[in-house]
């Protein structure tokens, strides 16, 4: 009845590491394919529908940078709703670049063209 205590410990460690690699690999594969398909479809329809400004995929930028706080449909979450805020373009640009309240600054992460495209996306 002399059990080796190291075997269960090693088994748990190896299973845990394997599970982490399995889940991280699966998540990266699913997200990458889904986003590429969605952005390809959106950019094709965006030029006609006005969702994109030039070559900028405003909806993709919004999903990547805004949805985690403002909700997947941008109707509000931890942050306020983004459509119909009544902000002017200059005020919107200033808030995105410098942040406000609990909203972080996106200075250096988003350029002027991208911020303008976001403003147009949320006001149209």
| pLDDT tens sequence across 29-74 | 444 444 444 444 444 444 333 444 468 888 899 999 998 999 888 8
Please tell me whether residue 103 adopts helix, strand or coil conformation.
Answer: strand
Whole-model pTM? 0.55
Query: What is the phi/psi pair of residue 68, to 5°?
Result: -65, -30
Q: Give the tokens for residue 105.
A: 């600054």
Q: How many residues does the chain have?
A: 124
Helices (H), 50-88: 58-65, 67-70
CB 114 within 8 A of CB 64: no
- What is the residue whose two structure tokens read 């459509």? 83
First to last CA, the chain: 74
**Per-residue pLDDT averaged across 81-89, rounded?**
85
Q: Provide the pLDDT for residue 116.
A: 92
28 or 106, greater pLDDT: 106
Q: In angstroms, rounded to a whole number, what is the distance separating the alpha carbons of residues 49 and 58? A: 12
């Amino acid at each position: 009845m002399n059990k080796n205590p190291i075997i269960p410990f090693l088994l748990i460690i190896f299973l845990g590491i394997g599970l982490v690699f399995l889940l991280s690999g699966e998540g990266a594969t699913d997200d990458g394919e889904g986003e590429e398909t969605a952005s390809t479809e959106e950019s094709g329809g965006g030029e006609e529908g006005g969702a994109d400004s030039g070559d900028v995929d405003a909806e993709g930028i919004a999903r990547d940078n805004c949805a985690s706080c403002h909700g997947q449909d941008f109707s509000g979450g931890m942050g306020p709703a983004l459509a119909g805020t009544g902000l002017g373009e200059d005020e919107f640009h200033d808030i995105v670049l410098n942040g406000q309240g609990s909203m972080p600054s996106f200075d250096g992460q988003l350029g002027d063209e991208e911020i303008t495209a976001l403003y147009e996306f949320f006001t149209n």
